[in-house]
A and B are shown apart, each in its own frame.
Chain A
Amino acid sequence: MNLSLRSSSVLDGTTHVDLATSTVRELNGALHALKPDTNETLWKIANPRGLHAIAAGLDLPVSVEIDGPVGYYCGGMNKQARIIIEGTAGVGVAENMMSGLVHVKGDASQAAGATGNGGLLIIDGNASARCGISMKGIDIVVKGSVGHLSAFMGQAGTLTVLGDAGEALGDSLYEAKLFVRGTVAGLGADCVEKEMRDEHKALLASKLEAAGILGEVDISEFRRYGSSRTLYHFHVDNVSSY
């Protein structure tokens, strides 16, 4: 048991932390202090009550299961860890994630997975505006719908949406790949629908498989969106888009 935590207990190899009596600082401090050979590999967090930066900056293959809603930046900059949120997530869940898994069982607020470099973010409910903004290699699977400006300036990675997408999807997109099953309210500047070839179907299938829903949805129902790359160079003909 970690001594810096005021209220934690270890039962059956599971560390229990109650955020009604321990602080986020104590929790994160204890998680950051874990050694690579730790046997405290499963953490159950009670009473998260929308607190911010829960389980931010982890860098070990541990599991953190959070029982309830979290505030901003839960799992921020995650590396390796598996973070499960049994509730809704505030702004910037899994922002700048490097690797590992963040799974939101409820809805997520704005900028979910923002700037993520790697790892997998699964959102069972809906994600709000700017989901995957400036994404840099993360894979995001949203089972519901995403709000406006999702994948804005997306540089790399995939955004898969089983529901609908809001206005200006993929605005100023670089090389991120977007798959949407439902309707798209509008495409942003430089974002176009692209042909769904076999390699893209295989890529989508691999993401659905990672999210544990391969076979539950029909891949042929998805459309692919990507960059038309016309804004890659400053050009007089593109002035209206600048």
Chain B
Amino acid sequence: MNDITNTPRTTPRASATFDEYTLSEIRRAAATGIYDIRGAGAKRKVPHFDDLLFLGASISRYPLEGYREKCSTEVLLGTRFAKKPIALKIPITIAGMSFGSLSANAKEALGRGASAMGTSTTTGDGGMTNEERGHSTQLVYQYLPSRYGMNPDDLKRCDAIEVVVGQGAKPGGGGMLLGQKITERVAKMRTLPVGIDQRSACRHPDWTGPDDLEIKIEELREITDWEKPIYVKVGAARPYYDTALAVKSGADVVVVDGMQGGTAATQEVFIENVGIPTLAAVRQAVKALQDLGMHRKVQLIVSGGIRNGADVAKALALGADAVAIGTAALVALGDNDPHYAAEYEALGTKAGAYDDWHEGRDPAGITTQDPALMARLDPVAAGRRLANYLAVLTLECQTIARACGKSHVHNLEPEDLVALTIEAAAMANVPLAGTDWIPGRGGNF
């Protein structure tokens, strides 16, 4: 008889396919019978700006002095048709995030931080609040499929209009806001019963396709007397064609949001499996603009996973005019801060991983409508943190641009970049580091 206790045993081995997360999700699904809903963007690792490097100056290129020589950062958006284009001091904007998904204090803080740095904020799927209008010197008003809170007065008091076709976290999906966050004020702004689980429409109610979109944009211009820039925002799915069609429809600015882009609440399966990475989308969007002779005439804003000045510089080098940030801005305000570690644990998660934003129990007072939690976020101090963070992004981007010898961040170009991986080289259409090989060159993009 074998002595079991003395037989050597192999180390318990978890499956790579059925990993811990997968197993927990199967159990959760089996217990509830309904898909997992959460906030934030794709959490899986995808090719990203980290996979690119700048070459910097050398004998054949000379750099600019870090603290002396000018490296400009201003951006003009909406120069194509709008009588009053938007002038930003930095190439970083705050992406659309709804009042409802965010607290009024968080919206105010976003406005304060962005305004301090001379950039714009954006409303979201829930209408415009007086707080955010009041605290944002430049406010972009989203025109979404749901049209929650849409009205001509706000259309006239905004600085630009963003027609939202899709979002990177969920191209082809509508918004969600669960009952816990549909408070009286949120419900009233959206004309909905208090406390219901709200699902926004995924298609616009009164236009389908690029020919209709062109007429819709014409109507919005007529209502606002052709003053305001009109952006079209798409989730990164077919960025070459979507960008081309947005231009054809008369957009002043195209916003392309990659799959890492955050969301307030969406099905996990949607976030992780639909859409393409930001890195893969930028070059296609730029190519569309170039093929139409519209690069820099119609401006391109890129978003989805922008975290630092290097990401900003890389997006600009690939041809974007500006970037937009969502998640990073929330983190700057205080989202997922270790300060609230114990409370995150009490919610069954941990600081840094908390994404049940739809439940409205955010200890940091940002993704909530609970007055007590919301009161924890001081909009002045949080706005200050956001302004600091935006300043750092800008300085970092300038640092890289100067190292590459550029007197304006828009002078960064694909020739300044190489890729660390074959995937990134193919997606960004830049050579693999140390080679002159661009995989896929000769293809259509």
Are A53 and B206 in contact (CB-based, < 8 A)? no
Are B196 and A233 in contact (CB-based, < 8 A)? yes
Interface string of B133-150 (1 = CB under 8 A from A): 000000000000011001
B55 located at the interface, meaning its Cβ lies under 8 Å from any Cβ of chain A in the complex: no
Residue of B179, B212, B216, B223 near A57 (CB, 8 A) is B223
Are A134 and B151 in contact (CB-based, < 8 A)? no
Are B192 and A111 in contact (CB-based, < 8 A)? no
B423 located at the interface, meaning its Cβ lies under 8 Å from any Cβ of chain A in the complex: no
B34 CB, min distance to chain A CBs, angstroms: 5
Most buried by B among A52, A152, A239: A52
Are B34 and A76 in contact (CB-based, < 8 A)? no
Q: Which residues of A contact B199 (CB under 8 A)?
A: 172
Are B193 and A92 in contact (CB-based, < 8 A)? no
Cα distance, A72 to B191, chains bound together (Å): 25
Q: How many residues of B contact A (CB 8 A)?
A: 33
Residue of A29, A77, A156, A172 near B152 (CB, 8 A) is A77
Q: Which residues of A contact B415 (CB under 8 A)?
A: none
Q: Which residues of A contact B147 (CB under 8 A)?
A: 96, 115, 134, 136
Cα distance, A152 to B193, chains bound together (Å): 16
Q: Which residues of A contact B205 (CB under 8 A)?
A: 95, 111, 114-115, 130, 133-134, 152-153
B219 located at the interface, meaning its Cβ lies under 8 Å from any Cβ of chain A in the complex: yes
Are A156 and B191 in contact (CB-based, < 8 A)? yes
A98 CB, min distance to chain B CBs, angstroms: 6
Interface string of A49-77 (1 = CB under 8 A from B): 00011001101000000000001110011
Residue of B37, B191, B226 near A25 (CB, 8 A) is B226
Cα distance, A79 to B152, chains bound together (Å): 8
Q: Which residues of B contact A155 (CB under 8 A)?
A: 190-192
Are A234 and B34 in contact (CB-based, < 8 A)? yes
A170 located at the interface, meaning its Cβ lies under 8 Å from any Cβ of chain B in the complex: no
Known contacts A96-B147, A130-B205; decide if A25 and B222 are in contact (CB<8 Å).
yes
Q: Which residues of A contact B225 (CB under 8 A)?
A: 28-29, 32
Q: Which B residues between 148 and 206 are near A, CB-CB below 8 angstroms?
A: 150-152, 155, 178-179, 190-193, 196-197, 199, 201, 205-206
Are A92 and B155 in contact (CB-based, < 8 A)? no
Tier of interface size on chain A:
35 or more
Residue of B33, B150, B196, B218 near A232 (CB, 8 A) is B196
Q: Which A residues between 69 and 108 are near B, CB-CB below 8 angstroms?
A: 71-73, 76-77, 79, 91-92, 95-96, 98
Q: Which residues of A contact B218 (CB under 8 A)?
A: 52-53
Are A56 and B222 in contact (CB-based, < 8 A)? yes
B15 located at the interface, meaning its Cβ lies under 8 Å from any Cβ of chain A in the complex: no
Cα distance, A96 to B150, chains bound together (Å): 8
Q: Which residues of B contact A59 (CB under 8 A)?
A: 152
B215 located at the interface, meaning its Cβ lies under 8 Å from any Cβ of chain A in the complex: yes
A79 CB, min distance to chain B CBs, angstroms: 6
Residue of B191, B193, B215, B226 near A73 (CB, 8 A) is B215
Cα distance, A233 to B193, chains bound together (Å): 11
Cα distance, A208 to B216, chains bound together (Å): 31
Q: Which residues of B contact A225 (CB under 8 A)?
A: none
Known contacts A77-B151, A234-B34; decide if A91 and B196 are in contact (CB<8 Å).
no
Specify the chain A residue showing the minimal Cβ separation from B32.
A236
Q: Which residues of A contact B207 (CB under 8 A)?
A: 91-92
Are B206 and A239 in contact (CB-based, < 8 A)? no
Cα distance, A153 to B216, chains bound together (Å): 21
Are B219 and A56 in contact (CB-based, < 8 A)? yes
Chain A: residues with CB nearer than 8 A to chain B? Answer: 24-25, 28-29, 32, 52-53, 56-57, 59, 71-73, 76-77, 79, 91-92, 95-96, 98, 110-111, 114-115, 117, 130, 133-134, 136-137, 152-153, 155-156, 172, 174-175, 232-236, 239
> 9 pairs across A/B with beta carbons < 8 Å?
A52-B219, A73-B216, A77-B152, A98-B152, A110-B206, A130-B205, A133-B205, A174-B192, A236-B32
